[in-house]
Structure 1
Amino acid sequence: MRSLRAAPPRAAFSALGTTAVLLVTDGEALADGERLLRAGLAEVDAAYSRFRDDSEIMRLGAYEGRAAPVSPLLAEALDAALRAAAATDGLVDPTVGQAMIDLGYDRDFALVDPDGAAPAPRPAPGYWRVRLDTATRQVVVPRGVRLDLGSTGKAFAADRAAARIAALGCGVLVSLGGDLATAGPPPEGGWLVGVGDDHRAAAPGDPVVTIRSGALATSSVTQRAWRRGGRAVHHIVDPRTGDLPAPVWRTVTVAARSCVDANAAATAAIVRGDGADAWLDGAGLPARLVGHDGRVVTVGGWRSHA
């Protein structure tokens, strides 16, 4: 997802295995905004990166099913992940960590082995097995369950960063590799955002949308892809099987009040496959779905400029 309006001051840098982009309506806030964004993403990485042995979420395994204290940040991120799982009937599930490892996504994507043997897929244990007490900030993760916040973690970080930076007194857009959150007053005419398979570069025919508030998120199977067990695989897993979802939709973009809600819905739509367009429409979520056959379906009042 790419902002196409040139006027707002902009900062961009690599973070969380993707590109972080910050736009603000007030140039005087850019330096402080970038500082807040960098600091916030560093906190997120330390709290729930699956690719750091010393991250807080990876250390939960040492508790072997016993209650573990967690930081306020991880408690909030886990709560968002569990709420997203419940809202999508488990189609987005943070207990898919082992399934991701089995598919070969066991390190930062830039370092993923381009091919290798793959064990037989196994369904995810189920998000309902994770017990989180937000009041005491304690979590129980069953022994052997590996958590992965890939379907909500960047979106949560975008929501959190946008809200913090907007407190500087300006309008803000934060994009983390296709997960885009806004806060504060938008620029005149709104934020113009290009939508496509790849957030890094526009393709001919990619539509443009106007965002005045809320969030936009795109889930796609075309970008983080590699080979495993002699077949093409990607980073979106069906928790019901522990394997890839049926190849119905290649890219889904959803608008919602929060980036967590938007990304959870977009990912769930890819996992759901057939009927995902009707599901999103019934939820009242503006969305654009692109099939593996190239067909484009829009629902929920989706409007684009091209």
Structure 2
Amino acid sequence: MKINAPNKNIPELVSFNILAMGCQIQVNLNITSLSLLCSKIEIEQHTALLASDVQQKLTYWEHIFSRFDDSSELMRLNNHTDQWRDVSAELFEVLQRAIQFVPKTQGLVTPTLLQSLWAAGYKHSFETLPKLSMPTVPVIDPSATLNINSTAKESFQDTPVVNYDNQNIERIQLRRLADGQYQVYLPAGMALDLNGYVKGWCAMQLAEYISQIHDWQIPCLVDMGGDIAIGMPKHQGTDVAITPIAWGVAIAKPYIIDSKQKQVHDDEDVAILKIRSGAVATSGQDYRRWWYDGRWQHHLIHPHYSRPVTSDVLTATVLATDTMTAEVYAKYCVMLGLKAAMAWLNKNHIAALLIDFDNKVMATSALDPYLVKPNLIASIGA
């Protein structure tokens, strides 16, 4: 995704970028009201201070949630199973919410898949993983690389291999003690990966901090590598939100693999959305891919098979009230596959856009009010 200025009555915007938590983070601030009160120099100084504040928060959260740092709080928990462990309020909250999503997604989106990610070669940060395949691998083709239409017995998902005892989310226990301390019991043999949940959680935390807690309390849009949260200030001393501005969000074409086995990206947009509140997130098989064990791998693990999912959904974009929900439901759509995902989305009146391996774009009817250029969509409400 990329951020566009609204088409009409364009407000004064300022933005800054931070590289953290394995992704590029862009914070966009609507300074229209500030520009009437502060000089340009004052705004630049305060923006720099805010950027520093945001960086500190991200660094703090990274020390909690990173699965690439054995000293992080998450990895200390993973390395000390079968016992109660003290945890921070942040880890407790994210894990609790992640667990709540498991039954909502039929168990397909679960935080208990770290070992499967390791088995797929995702042991180090994504930017360090090999992105080029062997010369014999063809241009990306769902039937060849992901066995989507294959009936061969060697298909990735012919035989479940998961150890369900290690994936049973009900075996995780959480409690808060009388003194306010949070604790988690992680069963032996289980390891957590909270990365996807954390991106959404952090995006929303930052948006709410900037728009409702920080001294400025101004409208903002936070983009954490495609997980987008909109922050809306409230009238001081009340719980009534001020009139929100419209933010333009462009949904770009998915990444593809070209004839030279390089990952490339078409700058053309498949849709442009206008949103005033809430969040939007995209998940898919196109970008976070790497070459390991003789095949392309990606980060969306099917819990029944402990392997990257086989799906005809290349990417899914979902709108929701908060970014973690949007992120989880976008993953769920990829897991379900095109037909089942569209049925589930329309049944629950969820605004979403799916792209298949033929680059066909389909949107739910609930997305229609957010579309700036609906003519770009091949099918709406299918």
TM exceeds 0.5? yes
Write the letter of the residue equivalent to 2:229: A
| Map of 2:77 onto structure 1 | 60
Structure 2 residue 299 is the aligned partner of structure 1 residue 282: no
1:3 maps to what in 2?
3
Deviation at 1:197, TM superposition (A): 4.5
CA distance in 1, matches of 2:114, 2:322: 24
Higher mean C-alpha deviation, range 21-30 or range 191-200: 191-200
Give the one of 174, 178, 183 matched to 2:231.
183
Judge which range, 176-185 or 201-210, deviates more. Answer: 201-210
Q: Name 1:145's counterpart in structure 2.
A: 190
1:86, distance to aligned residue in structure 2 (A): 3.0
Q: Is the 8 Å Cα contact of residues 2 and 201 (structure 1) preserved in structure 2?
A: no
SS at match of 1:12: strand
Structure 2 residue 283 is the aligned partner of structure 1 residue 223: no
| Amino acid across the alignment from 1:230 | G
| 8 Å contact from structure 2 (residues 81, 187) kept in 1 | yes
Q: Say yes or no: does 1:133 pair with 2:138.
A: no
Q: Distance in 2 between matches of 1:83 and 1:220?
A: 22
Aligned-partner SS, 1:217: strand
Q: Which runs of 4+ in 1 moved over 4 A?
A: 113-116, 185-189, 197-202
Instruction: Provide the residue aligned with 1:305 in structure 2.
Output: 372
1:36/1:161 contact within 8 Å kept: no
Q: How far has the Cα of 1:84 moved from its partner?
A: 2.2
Corresponding residue number in structure 1 for 2:377: none
Name the structure 1 match of 2:218. Answer: 170
Question: Quick check: 2:203–2:222 contact (8 Å CA) kept in 1?
Answer: yes
Q: Distance in 2 between matches of 1:299 and 1:152?
A: 24
Map 1:88-103 onto structure 2 (within 5 A). Answer: 88-103=105-120
Structure 2 unmatched ranges of 5 or more: 35-42, 134-155, 234-241, 256-263, 374-382
Which letter maps to 1:276? A
Correspondence list, 1:4-43, <5 A: 4-5=4-5, 7-26=12-31, 28=43, 30-43=47-60
Task: Return the match for 1:293 from 351, 354, 358.
Answer: 358
Instruction: Tell me the TM-score normalised to structure 1 length.
Output: 0.91
Counting aligned pairs with the same residue, the percent is 27
Using the TM superposition, name which of 4-13 and 186-195 deviates more: 186-195
**1:100 and 1:106 in contact (8 A); partners too:** yes
Amino acid at match of 2:287: Q
Partner of 1:77: 94
Secondary structure, counterpart of 2:174 in structure 1: strand
Give the equivalent residue in structure 1 for 2:260: none
Aligned partners of 1:176 and 1:213: how far apart in 2? 16
Partner AA of 1:125 in structure 2: Q
Assess if the C-alpha contact under 8 Å between 1:22 and 1:172 holds in 2.
yes
Deviations 1:90-129, CA, capped at 9 Å, x for gaps: 111000000000001111011124589x9x9535613222
Question: Any stretches of 5+ residues in structure 1 without a counterpart?
Answer: none
Matched pairs, number: 304
Alpha carbons of structure 1 residues 134 and 112: separation in structure 2 relative to 1, 3 Å: farther
Seen in structure 2, the aligned counterparts of structure 1 residues 225 and 84 have a Cα distance that, compared at 3 Å, is same
SS at match of 1:92: coil
**1:61–1:143 CA contact under 8 A, matched in 2:** no
Residue 79 of structure 1: CA displacement?
1.5
Which residue number in structure 1 is paired with residue 143 of structure 2? none
**Contact 2:270–2:361 (CA<8 Å) still a contact in 1?**
no
Question: CA offset at residue 300 of structure 1?
Answer: 4.3
RMSD across aligned positions (CA)? 2.5
Deviation at 1:87, TM superposition (A): 2.2
Task: Decide whether aligned partners of structure 1 residues 114 and 56 sit closer, same or farther in structure 2, where only a CA change above 3 A counts.
Answer: same
Measured in 1, the distance between the counterparts of 2:118 and 2:316 equals 24
Shift in Å at residue 66 of structure 1?
0.6
